[in-house]
Structure 1
Amino acid sequence: MGVFGALNAAVSGLSAQAYALENISGNIANSATVGYKRLDTSFSDLVGGGRGSQPSQLAGTVSASSRATNGIQGDLQQSQVDTYMAINGSGYFVVQGRAGEVDGRSIFTGNDLYTRRGDFEVDKEGRLVNGAGYYLMGQPIDPVTKNVAGSVPSIMTIDSSVIPAVVTDRIQYEGNLPTTPQTSAKLAGGTDLLDAALTKASTGAAPDAAAVGQTVGADVISSDDEVTFLNSSIAGEAITVYNSSGTPVNVQMRWAKTFEDDGSQPDTWSLYYLSDSTATGAGAKWSKVSDAQFGTDGRMTLPATDSMALTALTVDGQTVGDVTLDFGTDALTQFADANGSAKISKLTQNGYPAGDLAGISVSEAGRLVASYSNGRTRELYEISLVSFSGEAWLERVNGGAFEVTPESGEPISGAQGNIVGKRLEASNTDIADEFSKLIVTQQAYSANTRIVSSSDEMLQEAINMIR
């Protein structure tokens, strides 16, 4: 082969280095592209000639090919956009491209693609689309069980409709009542019990009622008796509940101790709530919920169900309905307290008003979460992640997406990586490294041009021999 072989080898070298230069150029151009995976260049020698032992072999030409870096993660960068997300570890988002529009609604290609570009934002149709125009896919969450409802990912559509109000039917109430309540009357030198004019003897008729002859609070407290009642009772906190239309109803509660342990019967308390703040004269202003008893160990003995029923709860004309006041197991106690006040450790309820969609975010569990103006949240979708046995063999398409090939294998549901909200994965291109490659490529290209020049001169000398 001689001089012509050297010339061919140099030309292949020029072609290979130009190929490498193109990859370097593309990597640098995409150094700021979200989720971009650089392409490195691999060189492979081709045997130039000669067989057998080492002395007869010749260095040959070279070919260049691209080497994917799909498995090399870029840096995760902080973002202030709630719907931006990144994959920390291995895995790909499942997306689809938009094919067009029919009757003002988007239609899609039906061809699943895979990407790590996570700059998703909500479009006018309530779908999450990234900067390259690909739509995110996931599986819906059952609102009751909180489990994934489907098995096949679909394009996620966020429902922006108002969530209806939920009426309160249970109040969680836990805390401690003081052994000696420091009422205004007690501080003035009187008794710590409810004023005798506001009490009555228990009949013991109800299953959870106090024993016959024991003193309990009257069923209602009139407006005329309110000052006396307030002076001989202590605050039991207040809570806002909701009726069926979502109207907030403020429930104020007070505890009145009605019977002191006499050695044969336990301490007894009566719980009241403000039922009509506008009542006047003999009108009922406070209504009794029920009575509670506490043993010498400070634990509640009655009601035995650890709960009270607020039947047809109505406050200032707003009807809520039947509400269960749930004290929990041994969660309402009577122990000595230096301040003589009720210390409520838990006071929650299960109702809420109607709410408008306020925002969308990504949870640590990789789920799409909707936030509403009423303070509620709902998990809407689980964002699909897939992996591949041969991810380096995925076919690149525009916009940082990949397509399945026979060499990559089919997508495998689930991945080792996890989704991180308000983050974006940067390009894995290292500018300093690319410039280092550029220097080497430029030198190799220049050296190959010298081989071409030298081969040309040698051929010219051979031609001149016959002149």
Structure 2
Amino acid sequence: MMRSMFSGVSGLKVHQTKMDVIGNNIANVNTVGYKSQRVTFSDVFSQTLQGASSASDDTGRGGLNPMQVGLGVKVSSIDMLMTQGAAQRTDNPFDLMINGSGFIVVGDATGQYFTRAGALRQDDEGNLTIANGMRVQGWPSVYNEKTNKYEISQQEVSSINLADPTIKNSKPSMTTKTQLSGNICNTADAATTTIRFYDSVGNPYTLDMHFKKAEGAQNQWNIELGTTIKDSAGNEIKLAKAPTLAEGTSITFTPNGSLDSDKGHLALKFGDGNNSDNGGATLLETTGSTISDLDIDISGLTQYAVQTDIDPKTLNGNAAGTLTGYSVGSDGIITASYNNGDKRSIAQVVVAEFDNPEGLEKAGENLYTTTTNSGDFDGVGKAGIFNTGVLEMSNVDLSSEFTDMIITQRGFQANSRIISVSDEMLQELTQLK
């Protein structure tokens, strides 16, 4: 009888534990990135009243099974369910939802932590943080002199800061390539367009280019260049030598109106015509800056019987720009945008993956820490796949939780009856005398 009472007590304890877990799951039904838990039970050691015996020809009897009395129940495990939660759209560019496995890496002076809650924000010093102020960690952007671009460097993660002084402004760059496309009317005698380009400090300039039909030739056009360039205010800037075209001053179209394939590019030279002493750049004494020789792509020009419409484009080079905002790509790369149209990669949010994510230990505030059964973080991480402007909701299933609540309640009630009935039996025993 006492064994039954103790079994009932153990049943009450484990069902109370399961109810605690269910209550915590329901309480966190709207917690961003929360992972629900479940409880499993197992029986405890059983007392053997009689061991098993095999059949015997000597006695003529068959084998006997063991006789055991169980001593109750215990909590076998409390597991985290790492299934993906539903998506909640926010349209905040710094809200990130991880697709698949992995955790965003965060940290402070106490160490590194991991979270699925991607509600990121920027503090007053430009640090990318989570709600409790811990800094988000990822890969930095490093300037590559060969490509003249900022590129993500896959190295040990570090705190992401968006207020670096080098981020606030976009550096200017010289124009080296332009393009002319469109049509020159085959019945016209002349056409004019204006090439636009930037110098080494981002000042814009223009150069007029005139097309005149060659005498006695229907498909040949001579090109005349302006002798000066103009700045943004329309002021003329004289050069030491007038601009020249290195490969001739005429272009030819085929009878069907397309450009002769022999000349799809024009090489425009400034200054002395070769600029070999200054890396292809010409010094402007009025501004102290330099301009580069231009490669003009004219392969898109045609000569049809329609209105002249030459479209000049600047293929590279830009003025200095100021920061206008940030965006986060599906690969976690944070890109800064500038008012001159330039874009720059600043950093990349990465994810940490573990051999056994269920083995992580909850640290509160949607954070996890590693344990001996989860596996370690290598300090580098890997590129993740994110939904931007979206948060991962809790994966708590209310229908399952309420069903488990009913089962748990009934189990608790049944075990309480064991205790009350055992008590009544003990009371009958004391009243035998």
User: Which TM-score tier does this pair reach, normalised by the shorter chain?
Assistant: 0.7 to 0.9
SS at match of 2:5: helix
Q: Which residue in 2 is equivalent to 1:308?
A: 268
Deviation at 1:374, TM superposition (A): 3.0
Q: Which residue in 2 is equivalent to 1:429?
A: 396
Tell me how far apart the structure 2 counterparts of residues 117 and 393 of structure 1 sit (CA, whole Å): 18
SS at match of 2:321: coil
Change beyond 3 A, Cα 1:148–1:70: farther
Deviation at 1:55, TM superposition (A): 5.7
Structure 2 residue aligned with 1:85, among 91, 96, 99?
96
State yes or no: 1:331 paired with 2:335. no
Q: Which residue in 2 is equivalent to 1:234?
A: 191
CA contact (8 A) 1:292 1:301 kept: no
Q: Which residue in 1 is equivalent to 2:421?
A: 454
Change beyond 3 A, Cα 1:61–1:417: farther
State yes or no: 1:269 paired with 2:223. yes
Q: Which residue in 2 is equivalent to 1:15?
A: 13
Tell me how far apart the structure 2 counterparts of residues 116 and 90 of structure 1 sit (CA, whole Å): 9
Deviation at 1:80, TM superposition (A): 2.1
Q: Which residue in 1 is equivalent to 2:58?
A: none
* Cα RMSD for the two superposed structures: 3.3
Q: Which residue in 1 is equivalent to 2:55?
A: none
Tell me how far apart the structure 2 counterparts of residues 371 and 137 of structure 1 sit (CA, whole Å): 21
SS at match of 2:399: helix
Q: Which residue in 2 is equivalent to 1:293?
A: 251
Deviation at 1:453, TM superposition (A): 0.9
CA contact (8 A) 1:167 1:244 kept: yes
Deviation at 1:320, TM superposition (A): 6.5
SS at match of 1:42: strand
Deviation at 1:138, TM superposition (A): 0.8
Deviation at 1:356, TM superposition (A): 3.0
**Where do residues 68-467 of structure 1 align in structure 2 (5 Å cutoff)?**
68-97=79-108, 108-109=109-110, 111-144=111-144, 146-161=150-165, 162-178=168-184, 180=186, 182=188, 192=189, 233-236=190-193, 239=196, 241-247=197-203, 249=204, 251=206, 253-260=208-215, 262=217, 266-272=220-226, 275=229, 290=245, 291-294=249-252, 296=254, 298-300=258-260, 306-311=266-271, 321-328=290-297, 331-333=299-301, 335-344=302-311, 347-411=313-377, 414=381, 417-466=384-433
Q: Which residue in 2 is equivalent to 1:6?
A: 4
Deviation at 1:261, TM superposition (A): 6.0
CA contact (8 A) 2:28 2:394 kept: yes
- One-letter amino acid of the structure 1 residue matched with residue 74 of structure 2: S
Residues 179-238 of structure 1 deviation map (CA, whole Å, 9 limit, x = unaligned): 6153xxxxxxxxx1xxxxxxxxxxxxxxxxxxxxxxxxxxxxxxxxxxxxxxxx334356
Change beyond 3 A, Cα 1:126–1:396: same
Deviation at 1:123, TM superposition (A): 0.7
Deviation at 1:393, TM superposition (A): 0.8
130-139 vs 446-455, which deviates more?
130-139
Change beyond 3 A, Cα 1:261–1:364: farther
SS at match of 2:330: coil
Residues 415-443 of structure 1 deviation map (CA, whole Å, 9 limit, x = unaligned): 58512222211111122221111111111
SS at match of 2:169: coil
Tell me how far apart the structure 2 counterparts of residues 454 and 359 of structure 1 sit (CA, whole Å): 71
Tell me how far apart the structure 2 counterparts of residues 409 and 279 of structure 1 sit (CA, whole Å): 67
Normalised to the residue count of structure 2, the TM-score between the two structures is 0.79
SS at match of 1:447: helix
Tell me how far apart the structure 2 counterparts of residues 85 and 54 of structure 1 sit (CA, whole Å): 60
- One-letter amino acid of the structure 2 residue matched with residue 327 of structure 1: I
Q: Which residue in 2 is equivalent to 1:37?
A: 35
- One-letter amino acid of the structure 1 residue matched with residue 259 of structure 2: R
CA contact (8 A) 1:37 1:68 kept: no
Unpaired stretches in structure 2, ≥5 consecutive residues: 53-63, 272-280
Tell me how far apart the structure 2 counterparts of residues 319 and 460 of structure 1 sit (CA, whole Å): 107
CA contact (8 A) 2:361 2:370 kept: yes
Normalised to the residue count of structure 1, the TM-score between the two structures is 0.74
Change beyond 3 A, Cα 1:167–1:135: closer
CA contact (8 A) 2:94 2:121 kept: yes
CA contact (8 A) 2:178 2:313 kept: yes
Tell me how far apart the structure 2 counterparts of residues 258 and 72 of structure 1 sit (CA, whole Å): 72
